[in-house]
Amino acid sequence: MKRSTWRFKRSRFSDPSFVRHDLPFLCTMATILIVASCQLSRRSDGEPSQIATEGGGLSLSAASAPLRVKPPLMPEDPTPLNPQLMISVTRQIGSHTHVPYYARVPDCTASPEASVVQFFTILKSDFGQHPIQLILRGEGLGEAIRVDAENYRMSFAVTAPVKSALVKQICGATKDGSPHITPEPSIMAETETWLRHIAPDCTEIQPVLDSSDARMVSNEYLRPGQWYCQLPEATPTNALAELDTIRTTMIRRWTRQPYLLARRLAVGADLAHALMAKDPERGLDVFCRVVKGSLPAELPATLTSKRWQYAVCDHPDDHRIHAARFGLLKTVSEVSFMRQLFDRTSRLGYLTLKLPIPEQAGRDVLVTLAPLGEVTDNVARETTKIWLGEETKGKVNLDAESPRSCWHPIYGEDAGLMRLARYLTLSGQTLKVACEESDPIRENSLTPARYFAESITSETEFVATNGHAKMLRLPIGRYAYKLRILPENLEDWDDASQVAEGARGEIEWDAKRPRQVISQW
């Protein structure tokens, strides 16, 4: 991708897909990457992917590969699930009938160890309907569930063995020609815990009830099983107060402000004001024009989601206010997280150019900084401290320590966005779940490496004058630098790649107030 690093051109995008387009970087910290939050392995052989490099850094090529799990997931089952060919699992809730799942046993003659139960259901949210397939395998205390939701797969152990009873009921109904079964309440309670592993960010998972009497409607059981996921929401007044507190802290404590973090905070405040307006619908209409007119990098991660923009801006309906409040809550969480990360990892200091070439004194120089492996380690370590709320010394195992969520009703639209949501602790958390994505992160996706790089630095590529100091705020660690002498004519600055490199080297940014000098040409 061709980058022009001094001209940050604003442009308007009318298509929601603009959130996937590449942008000019405000910085070049593309190596900052916090490793995947789920356990890693190849699906075929269960061997772990090699992400750590020899220098202790992280491989961007590995980070864009499909996320794998170890131990390997359960075997593939080639049989597609069709609700109309399955038996409905039903229960009565008052006068209403709930069909939470459709189920089948592919082979009723299989041994207890080899038999499996397949399920199909739909989880609704303010952002659409999400088909989910489940397979129950194993026996007794060894029973486990494998789940497929969109391009994500996960597996986890059950808390109570239920397969034997379900196989008996389903096979009996199949033999008798019955279209449905009604399991014991304890079995239904166990299946509800599965949904909380699948979508841990849901504050409530409620049954979608049918108001009709199932005994009077012959095709009642042909309707897909459904649940509704109630996602968390912010109270606009509280959210605005928290954003104002963060803004005050940034102004008082930081001399150099990271532009993108400040911009995302301002966008969140605008959203809170829109929801607090006398006419929130009109307020959101105005806010959506701000969203459409912003560069993708200027928006909080949740607001870059196509699903969020579809629900709030493109095709608003009765769920619009709820979807907007969800976006506000996650924006406040992200800004708070990034403020802590920036505060923990960065130092304010000065970089001075004293190049020993007399004829170049007073000339403008392009300085490009790139972080080395220890910068990545510092950011990863501080991120883990924020997650765990405790001190972590030495190298950290983010595979083991990171919040675990495999899929989300909104972030699941894109593997890069889903992974970023995990790092920012936006997607909820559940324990002891192995997960993987079936698709790699696309090259133009919202990758965590780029997002963190743009968010927590003020400048890593800038123009400085020989003989003068430049004030910077950077994460601590070692940086490699490149220098280029710029032409006298400002109009010739448009493409830095045409300017020959003049010098390379390294600087250390780790003192309480760093004062580094570059004096070699």
Note the pLDDT tens digit of each residue in 365-376.
889 888 887 787
Single-letter amino acid code for the residue at 352: T
Does residue 157 fall inside a structural domain? yes
Instruction: Report the pLDDT averaged over residues 374-396.
Output: 70
The token pair at 293 is 């007119």
**What number is the average pLDDT over the span 411-418?**
90
In this prediction, residues 119-125 reach a mean pLDDT of 94
Query: What is the rounded CA–CA span in Å between residue 333 and residue 340?
Result: 11
Q: In the chain, how many domains are there?
A: 1
Domain assignment present for residue 184? The answer is yes
pLDDT band at 453 (very low <50, low <70, confident <90, very high): low
Query: Distance (Å, rounded) from C-alpha 377 to C-alpha 197?
Result: 30
Give the rounded percent of residues in the chain with a pLDDT score beyond 90: 43
pLDDT at 31 over 70: no
CB 66 within 8 A of CB 42: no
Whether the pTM exceeds 0.95: the reply is: no
Q: Alpha-carbon distance 222 to 15, whole Å?
A: 37
Lowest mean pLDDT among 34-43, 424-433, 448-457, 471-480: 34-43
d(CA 483, CA 464): 10
User: Is residue 168 situated within a structural domain?
Assistant: yes
pLDDT of 196 reads: 94
Query: Which residue matches tokens 């815990």?
Result: 193
Mean pLDDT of 94-123: 91
pLDDT digits 0-9 by tens, 324-377: 999 999 999 999 999 988 888 888 899 999 988 766 556 888 898 888 877 877
For residue 50, is it within any domain? Answer: no
- State how far Cα 71 lies from the chain centre: 23
Tell me what pLDDT residue 128 has: 92
Q: Is the residue at 222 inside a domain?
A: yes
Report if residue 455 sits inside a domain: no
- Closest to 420 measured CA to CA, from 334, 343, 307: 334
- Structural domain harbouring 100: 83-230
Q: For residue 3, what pLDDT is reported? A: 35
- Does a structural domain hold residue 35? no
pLDDT at 474: 87
Answer whether residue 104 shows pLDDT above 70. yes
Indicate whether 94 belongs to any domain. yes
User: How many residues would you count in the chain?
Assistant: 521
Percent of the chain with pLDDT strictly greater than 70 = 72
**pLDDT at 29 (0 to 100):** 33
Q: What is the mean pLDDT of the chain?
A: 78
What is the Cα–Cα distance from 453 to 28, expressed in whole angstroms? 7
**What pLDDT, on a 0 to 100 scale, did the predictor assign at position 307?**
97
- How far apart are the two ends of the chain, measured CA to CA in Å? 28
